[in-house]
Structure 1
Amino acid sequence: MNMNKSWQRNALASAIVAAAWGVAPTALAQDTEIKIAQPLEEVTVVARQKSSAEDVIAERLEYDVVTDIISNEQIVRVGDPNVASALRRVPGLTLVDDKFIYVRGLGERYSSAQLNSALVPSPDLQRNVIPLDIFPAEVIESLAVQKVYSADMPANFGGGNVDIRTRALPNDLLVNVTVGSGWSSASTGKDGLTYNGGGDDALGTDDGTRALPAEITQAIQTYRGDISVANIFQTLNKDGGFHTIPEAQAINRKIAASLNRDIDITTKSNGPDKKIKAGVGYNFDLSDDWNLGFIAMGSYDNKVRNKDRTNRSSNNPERIYSDTQRTVDEVSLNGFGSVGLAYGLDHQIDYTHLFIRDTDDEASITTGFNANNAEIDSGNQYVTYELRYEERELRTNQLRGEHKLVSTFNDVVYELPFRWADDLAFEWFYSDSKATTDKPNEVSVEGMNAIDMDTGAVLSTRIEDLSTAAVFRFTDLADNVESYGWDLVLPVEGDNYRLELSGGYDGSRKDRSYLGTTVNIDTSNADPDALAGTPGEALCCGRIEDRDNGFIASLGSAEAESYLAAQTLDAWYGKFDVTWNDTWRVSGGLRREDFKQAALPIDTLDFDNQLRVSDDELADIVVAEAKNYPSLSMTYMTQDFWAETFQFRLGYGGTTVRPDLREVAVVQYIDPVTDYRVVGNPYLQTSDLQNYDARGEWFFDNGNSFTVSLFHKNIDSPIETIRAAGSDDNVVLTFVNAEEAQLTGVEMEWLYDMQPIGAEGFFVSGNVTYSDSEITITDTDIGLTNNKRRMTGHSKEVANIQVGFDSPDGYHSATLAYNFFGERILFAARDGADDAYEQPFNSLDLNYAFYPMENLSVRLRLTNLLNQEREVKQDGVVILEEVADRTLSLGVKWDL
């Protein structure tokens, strides 16, 4: 749990609660004086963006380690639509796909996110971090971004952590409605791919059309996971019955025919985006002391995107390549509700419920040439038809409380037995979350086109004669996470010092079930005439049912399809924070974590022994460790050292980065960014980090600031992404532990008001990070080309620069945001091939807001103005290329 950072937080916490009641503090003394808040109309209109940027930087003065805070007031002032947009203003953070944070050029492995200090599973279970665009700005009390470790934080801390703190008590009546639309240069008004789905697709949920048929579920039980003709025949006759092979074949064909085979891919014009969001909240005065408040919000977002890509072989790109036409229909449906009960400024209990549904409905057709039966000059072209419907949901229930252990009831003060403990504060939380991913009827069909050698036109098409010509996958994944903890904070004040002592406990329990079922259509002995046509033609209309066509159904895959996993964590910490003469500040602590994790592959089709590991292997893949993680920081504070306020910080922390469950499970999944297949490594070990930071901060009275930071990390057993052995031109990635790695860098950030140079209302803010890393892999037997190189996922250069404008009359604000990350290794290659490098990416976005009335705002956003495509290169060849996509979105928001 992220508790108050300094002794002053006792008074500041009271001030924050007071602000939620519509009153404001005038001092942070021990006897905090409360006055009625003054109107903030001018503050909330003029210099919206610049004053918000100043607040982000000024807040860090209060914290013992480098922490950036974005409050609800700042978010409302600027008008950020979600958490991801708000985090763009935080120094050192890069957002990928407007969803995931990268810190100081490091990949997502070294970033983490919490919800109200609790561990919450990601609804995107191909990622180990929460997509931050799913949280609407209106539900946020504050965002805390910490880039230097302290003992009250989870030790699973690499580059930074974001704690999303939600609201429960609104200031007053809250009513707002936002409607909007959007357009994409590569998608809107253009033809996209589609197919016949279910009746509830617009709501992001399948109505059962794609579900695993009951006939197959029953057949798995009846024939004990084996629906081969031979086993069906044997099962039918095991009790002395007299059944024939043709009868067994007919049963097999009937099982295949139960599949949803309405899978032909067609085209239609893509429409514009649809967005709507609404919220309501109120604060009830139950008495002079008691307050009850609630907030309820919901949103709906639908957009269709063409995401075409080209893949090439690095060895022979002119002859071995493929082009994929791909369309994804994305639906997001979110709901948030919270209730808060407060007694004065001393006690508050909040309940929060969060519901998120995020669905991708994808249709794609890939055509290309290979070195086998579809050579470029053969007149044949292979074709793969794919449908993937992925419905992800997150449901979270949280209960949390904040208490001062000195309370007043009916003007009677009740103090603790020990006078020195009168300011003791207690915070606690409990969180219960469930994240599910349902991928029904994920279809892949292999075919072959006969093409005109001169024009490339398709003359005819057919389904391939393969044992897995058509593959129907059904995947059901569920994550259940309980997270809970408490903190005690005791501030003590002396004549020339201030001391805060704190300690607490965090615990979590996580279990996962990943259950997959694959049904294959074997056409290796089928009548060639029966294979003619598209998948919808070849697999329907009685062709499978016809015994003369020779179709056969089978179950299972060559790879593991299911696993069960569990993870437990128990953590205790103690911490001190002392300030001497308002000049020196030292804080430190120790955290002990007891961590256990196991991911066990199972075979749901093996009715005799479902566990797919031996006893010896089981001992190797179970992780159990108990370690201590120290932190220590020092701050020197002075005045008039090149600026009105100067701080110099030193920090050290011992942390860890643990492999995610998806990285230790041997089940394959599709990476959502590259579309490469990824398989886990059950023998991965945790990585231990030693983190060193030095930081100089200059704050000027006019709001300008400049900061320079140096950082260094030593990493033991870092986890690296590599290409799996024997994956040829179908790229499959996996993970290994290296021996060690080092990362060293410098980060500069600034905020500058341009009024002195004649540009009233303009300001520039940003940050630039330059770093380098080296990783050493001593296990040369795995066949990697480079055993000493830069870390995968690490960019040497990262830049985030914003030029903002706030009109003096308060009617307009605009931001031109430039984001850049340098070349980074996507995966380490094998057998003499060069590593694959994701190419540098430049992004330029424009945000404009118009405030014609106090309660009305209009927002326009243009993204990817540079229209840069995403590329991955290997051996000088662009092996992956994805089309660029400029977008325009327009929204209108009304607030009561």
Structure 2
Amino acid sequence: MKTIRNRLLLLLAGVFLSLTINAQTGVICGNVSDAKLNEPLIGASVVISGTTTGVVTDLDGNFRIENVTPGTYAVSVSYVSYQTQVIPSVKVVARQEAVVNVKLSDADLQLQNVVVVAQRKLGTEMAVLNTVRNSLPVMNGISSQQIAKTQDSDAAEVLRRIPGITIIDDRFIVVRGLAQRYNSVWLNNATTPSSETDSRAFSFDVLPSSLIDNMMVYKSPSPELPADFAGGFVRVMTKNIPDGNSYSFQYQAGFNTNASFKTFKLTNRLGADFFGFGAGGRMLPGNAPAHLNDVSPETAAAFTKQINQRWGVKTFTALPEQKLSFTMNRSFNMGDMRIGNVTSVNYSTGYDYYEMENNRYQSYDMVNNTSRYDNHYFDEAYKNTTKLGALFNWSLLAGNSKYEFRNFFNQRGTSSLIQREGTDYYSDLDVRYWESLYTGRTTYSGQLSGEHRFAEDVNKLDWTVGYSYANYNEPDRKDVYSKRNPDGSAMPYRVDEAKRYYQELNDNGFSAGTNYEHKLKVNDLFSPVIYGGLYGEYKTRDFEARRFGYNMLGNGYDRNADWEYSHLFTSANMGADKIYLIENTNKSDSYTSDNFLGAGYVSARLNYGEKLNANVGVRVEYYNLKLDGYEPDGVKPVNLDQSTTDLFPSVNVSYNFNEKHQLRLAYGRSVNRAEFREIVPYVYYDFERFANISGNAQLKNAYANNLDIRYEFYPSAGETVSLGGFYKGFNDPIEQTYHEAGSGVQYTFMNADRSEALGLELDVKKQLDFIGLKDLSFVFNGAIIHSKVYFEEGSFERNRPMQGQSPYLINTGLFYQNDNNGLSASVLFNRIGKRIETVGIPKQNPNDDIPDVYEMPRNSLDLSFSKKIGKMVEIKGGVKDLLNAKITYNQFLDITDPAGNTQTVNQLIRSYRPGVTLNVGVSVKF
């Protein structure tokens, strides 16, 4: 025992001594670049003169020499074919960084057969900052290094940290206050399919944050970028270049105050649910009749028995969220070639629960000066989500060529149960709605690409071919409607109607593109670069749905129920004279669609010395959209074949006052095209909104003119302050609206006449050591945005903000980072202004308006910390959404009484609290 105690004391003393020594040293760091071209130099040698201590610059030209004893040193910087530079009197102070930025000049040497086999990385904060700084289009980004400092688990959460971006429904992005449909998303170098059946959007929650190398958001058009965006073009790059050979394991548990260790309810599950593949076991059998109404009641009853499953509700205790991941990095040489592989597998499963008030209103009661409910409901929602993902990326570097093969796969399965209870005032009934639903989403993206440099980097050619697949499967959704008269008695609810629903969507996407770059050198002040490229993509969609209801005939079975229906839908009650399925499917429940996009561009990067740079060019796009479907009645066919060819000019200019100050100006024209689902007249019932959603075959493309101006200040390495303004003018903007349809509500998509948006953005990243707070940095990004939609004079419509646009956005936080102690922590705050979720319908009498539905502001506060233990182990923890503020949707109705007095009435539509989540995890890397 004494020996063990002595060894522990000796170990603790060694750890303490190591930390003390590290705390008494400093760092020499900085960047090495070409003096003329201002491009990073890869592999430059940086050595403390008179010693063997040194490093080589990374793929962004950055270097970092750690554990330097305080003092004054000379630093030598050298690179093949460049003049060596010696920087004298570099002062190193304990626990501080001595920043040295060096520009090397050409030595005018005639060298041949010198090849540096490397490629640029964008996974560090400095690399992303340099990319943003050197880019001519207005853009922002975030690196994997910065992502690691937060507890963000997926790409949606990561995107909240980028200036001007907010998230809807925990998975869709809003850029500069514009709804998700105004954005375009690429995964690596190819487009992504829409992962939603009822909106144009990519679901970012399918991409784990641990797989992201960097995320870039372009905010101004440029010829090499797709023209179909007005809010932002988002490019997500997955990890592909390993730093070396390593393995890492991660485990994390998340405790949600609403769900973890609480009583939970779900219908009976399948074993495949635990891996996200439960949709396959719930699909209709292969021998299902083509249409159930074409067979006899006896055959329909037999089929009803065959698929009569999972009506029982299982009650259990919800476990905390579990997340597991494994990553392998491999890098090796094969002759003159360098090969790298990143393989990652991740798994997560977790439970969510919330209680939500859910309302809809009739016209305002002017006599009694009060709102009148149309529906007044309370929902209990239970949800279990499982994700299984994999990344399998290869890279090959051979001389002046680089090849990459990227593969991303994600499977997401969600089982949910919603119990809704309240009063339907339209029918004057107490009602209960019950929905059991399983959804499966499959996403795959694969790309093969190459990059080739010729004539000592004068010419560059790159190419990409890609394939993407998205499947959305919603098998065997069960909806049950029960009612009773609201007479105050304890009479039971009686099942009045039951439905089952099956749908499946398959998207396939094929893409190919190539870009060419040629550098010219006229003189020392003028070195233009010419660009050109081609891009093509072809997407197909197949959608099929089947709807069933239950015929409930005769007697001999009990239709009274209290949230449990297994006693009603038993095999004993199935028969041609009792209960059997009838089909309500018609031709409008299926459609096929495809589109083709062909694009080409030419542009030139022009400069005057190092001060003035401009990218001027034009992009041409040919777009063809085809759709074959039917009107909701299933009788009248809908066949579309639309083609457009458009030119999209753009200009991006930057002026460098000096190394720290820069001004940008940008103009570009862009387009916003309708997505498949937005034009097809297929009608889908949304249970949460208790409303139908339909497309509009008359939608037109929306076009936008975009203007940007931004001033950027770079105080020191890793720091930035930028202030920008923007203006966007739209013709025929596309928005989601809703209107009354019989006893319910129907959502659809419409073109407004025109709209505009203008705003200011501020982005700050600053170390706080200048006020004595070492290792602490401050981050702030915010935006103030004004938008307005205009309508023709004489229309009932009244000018209002654009759908999805927030008047302000705030993301701010403090980061603590002490590399010597391996300790980091952060406090992050987010808030958005109220924004229109759904556009209402104005009436001739404003008192009768169906008001817009607004998502109201809420404060979100996240805390996180991590501690490295030795070189292999890291402990992470945090609190997500500490404030647990309500998520609320309201309507605001402006009322004028007969006397001319006005008031604004606030009507609650939906409201719930998501709960606080506490995370704790461990990662091991070796």
2:541 aligned partner: 512
1:701 aligned partner: 716
Larger RCO (CA under 8 A, 6+ residues apart): 1
| CA distance in structure 1 between the partners assigned to 2:690 and 2:869 by the alignment | 44
| CA distance in structure 1 between the partners assigned to 2:94 and 2:448 by the alignment | 33
| CA distance in structure 2 between the partners assigned to 1:313 and 1:648 by the alignment | 49
Contact in 1 for aligned 2:706/2:727 (Cα 8 Å): yes
Please list, as runs of the form range in 1=range in 2, the aligned pairs for 1:157-236 lying within 5 A after superposition.
157-206=229-278, 208-215=280-287, 217=288, 219-220=289-290, 225=291, 227-228=292-293, 232=295
| CA distance in structure 2 between the partners assigned to 1:537 and 1:780 by the alignment | 58
Is 1:444 aligned to 2:473, yes or no?
A: no
2:312 aligned partner: 264
By how many angstroms is 1:692 displaced? 0.6
Q: Structure 1 residues 724 and 27 mapped into 2: Cα distance closer, same or farther (>3 Å)?
A: farther
Contact in 2 for aligned 1:436/1:476 (Cα 8 Å): yes
More divergent stretch after superposition (188-197 vs 128-137): 128-137
Which of 130, 133, 140 is the equivalent residue of 1:61? 133
Is 1:341 aligned to 2:399, yes or no?
A: no
Please list, as runs of the form range in 1=range in 2, the aligned pairs for 1:682-701 lying within 5 A after superposition.
682-701=697-716
Is 1:462 aligned to 2:494, yes or no?
A: yes
Q: Structure 1 residues 887 and 73 mapped into 2: Cα distance closer, same or farther (>3 Å)?
A: closer
Is 1:498 aligned to 2:520, yes or no?
A: no
Contact in 2 for aligned 1:843/1:868 (Cα 8 Å): yes
Which of 97, 102, 112 is the equivalent residue of 2:174? 102
Amino acid at match of 1:249: P
Q: The residue matched to 1:662 in structure 2 has which SS?
A: helix
By how many angstroms is 1:521 displaced? 0.9
Cα RMSD after superposing both structures: 3.4
By how many angstroms is 1:624 displaced? 1.1
Please list, as runs of the form range in 1=range in 2, the aligned pairs for 1:77-96 lying within 5 A after superposition.
82-96=154-168
Amino acid at match of 2:603: K
Contact in 2 for aligned 1:46/1:806 (Cα 8 Å): no
Q: Structure 1 residues 880 and 80 mapped into 2: Cα distance closer, same or farther (>3 Å)?
A: closer
Is 1:434 aligned to 2:488, yes or no?
A: no
1:836 aligned partner: 853
1:412 aligned partner: none
Deviation digits for residues 520-571 of structure 1 (CA, Å, limit 9, x no counterpart): 1123x543854233432212141122x443x353212479321111111000
2:567 aligned partner: 537
By how many angstroms is 1:453 displaced? 2.7
Deviation digits for residues 160-201 of structure 1 (CA, Å, limit 9, x no counterpart): 112122333312102110011101111112222211122211
2:661 aligned partner: 646
2:642 aligned partner: 623
Amino acid at match of 1:361: S
Q: Structure 1 residues 205 and 251 mapped into 2: Cα distance closer, same or farther (>3 Å)?
A: same
| CA distance in structure 2 between the partners assigned to 1:596 and 1:45 by the alignment | 58
Is 1:309 aligned to 2:356, yes or no?
A: yes
Q: Structure 1 residues 836 and 485 mapped into 2: Cα distance closer, same or farther (>3 Å)?
A: same
By how many angstroms is 1:853 displaced? 2.1
Contact in 2 for aligned 1:813/1:850 (Cα 8 Å): yes
Unaligned stretches of 5+ residues in structure 2? 1-34, 45-55, 65-75, 86-92, 99-122, 363-370, 844-848, 894-905
By how many angstroms is 1:63 displaced? 1.0
| CA distance in structure 1 between the partners assigned to 2:691 and 2:384 by the alignment | 20
By how many angstroms is 1:27 displaced? 8.9
| CA distance in structure 2 between the partners assigned to 1:492 and 1:653 by the alignment | 25
| CA distance in structure 2 between the partners assigned to 1:833 and 1:474 by the alignment | 32
Is 1:290 aligned to 2:309, yes or no?
A: no
Please list, as runs of the form range in 1=range in 2, the aligned pairs for 1:403-442 lying within 5 A after superposition.
403-406=452-455, 423-442=458-477
| CA distance in structure 2 between the partners assigned to 1:721 and 1:34 by the alignment | 62
1:244 aligned partner: none
Amino acid at match of 1:629: F
Deviation digits for residues 708-734 of structure 1 (CA, Å, limit 9, x no counterpart): 111111100000111034164x44311
Please list, as runs of the form range in 1=range in 2, the aligned pairs for 1:107-146 lying within 5 A after superposition.
107-146=179-218
Q: The residue matched to 1:255 in structure 2 has which SS?
A: helix
By how many angstroms is 1:84 displaced? 4.0
1:769 aligned partner: 783
Q: The residue matched to 1:169 in structure 2 has which SS?
A: coil
Is 1:570 aligned to 2:598, yes or no?
A: yes
Is 1:856 aligned to 2:873, yes or no?
A: yes
| CA distance in structure 1 between the partners assigned to 2:508 and 2:82 by the alignment | 43
| CA distance in structure 2 between the partners assigned to 1:369 and 1:32 by the alignment | 80
2:828 aligned partner: 817
Is 1:355 aligned to 2:402, yes or no?
A: no
Deviation digits for residues 64-83 of structure 1 (CA, Å, limit 9, x no counterpart): 12223444555567786544
| CA distance in structure 2 between the partners assigned to 1:22 and 1:171 by the alignment | 16
Q: Structure 1 residues 701 and 168 mapped into 2: Cα distance closer, same or farther (>3 Å)?
A: closer
By how many angstroms is 1:460 displaced? 2.5
Amino acid at match of 2:568: A
Contact in 2 for aligned 1:431/1:482 (Cα 8 Å): yes
By how many angstroms is 1:359 displaced? 1.2
Q: The residue matched to 2:493 in structure 1 has which SS?
A: strand
Deviation digits for residues 383-426 of structure 1 (CA, Å, limit 9, x no counterpart): 1121111000012221011111348xxxxxxxxxxxxxx61101
Q: The residue matched to 2:532 in structure 1 has which SS?
A: strand
Instruction: Report the TM-score when normalising by structure 1.
Output: 0.84
Contact in 2 for aligned 1:463/1:538 (Cα 8 Å): no
| CA distance in structure 2 between the partners assigned to 1:686 and 1:629 by the alignment | 14
Q: The residue matched to 1:834 in structure 2 has which SS?
A: coil
Q: Structure 1 residues 73 and 706 mapped into 2: Cα distance closer, same or farther (>3 Å)?
A: closer
Contact in 1 for aligned 2:824/2:867 (Cα 8 Å): yes
1:589 aligned partner: 617
More divergent stretch after superposition (819-828 vs 673-682): 673-682
Contact in 1 for aligned 2:187/2:445 (Cα 8 Å): no
| CA distance in structure 2 between the partners assigned to 1:254 and 1:646 by the alignment | 76
1:737 aligned partner: 751
Which of 365, 381, 394 is the equivalent residue of 1:326? 381
By how many angstroms is 1:303 displaced? 0.3
Contact in 2 for aligned 1:44/1:77 (Cα 8 Å): no
Contact in 1 for aligned 2:739/2:747 (Cα 8 Å): yes
| CA distance in structure 1 between the partners assigned to 2:535 and 2:299 by the alignment | 55
By how many angstroms is 1:250 displaced? 2.1
Q: The residue matched to 2:492 in structure 1 has which SS?
A: strand
Q: Structure 1 residues 486 and 53 mapped into 2: Cα distance closer, same or farther (>3 Å)?
A: closer
Instruction: Report the TM-score when normalising by structure 2.
Output: 0.81
By how many angstroms is 1:156 displaced? 0.6
Give the paired residue count.
Answer: 809
Contact in 1 for aligned 2:533/2:601 (Cα 8 Å): yes
By how many angstroms is 1:327 displaced? 0.6
| CA distance in structure 2 between the partners assigned to 1:258 and 1:432 by the alignment | 38
Amino acid at match of 2:413: T
Is 1:807 aligned to 2:821, yes or no?
A: no
2:303 aligned partner: 255
Q: The residue matched to 2:315 in structure 1 has which SS?
A: strand
1:634 aligned partner: 653
Which of 368, 386, 396 is the equivalent residue of 2:445? 396
Contact in 1 for aligned 2:881/2:916 (Cα 8 Å): yes
By how many angstroms is 1:434 displaced? 1.1
Amino acid at match of 2:181: R
Contact in 1 for aligned 2:149/2:824 (Cα 8 Å): no
Q: The residue matched to 2:573 in structure 1 has which SS?
A: coil
| CA distance in structure 2 between the partners assigned to 1:779 and 1:34 by the alignment | 70
| CA distance in structure 1 between the partners assigned to 2:474 and 2:702 by the alignment | 32
More strand by share: 2
Please list, as runs of the form range in 1=range in 2, the aligned pairs for 1:44-59 lying within 5 A after superposition.
56-59=128-131
Which of 370, 373, 383 is the equivalent residue of 2:424? 370
By how many angstroms is 1:696 displaced? 1.1
Q: The residue matched to 1:200 in structure 2 has which SS?
A: helix
Amino acid at match of 1:630: P
Unaligned stretches of 5+ residues in structure 1? 1-5, 36-41, 233-247, 376-380, 408-421
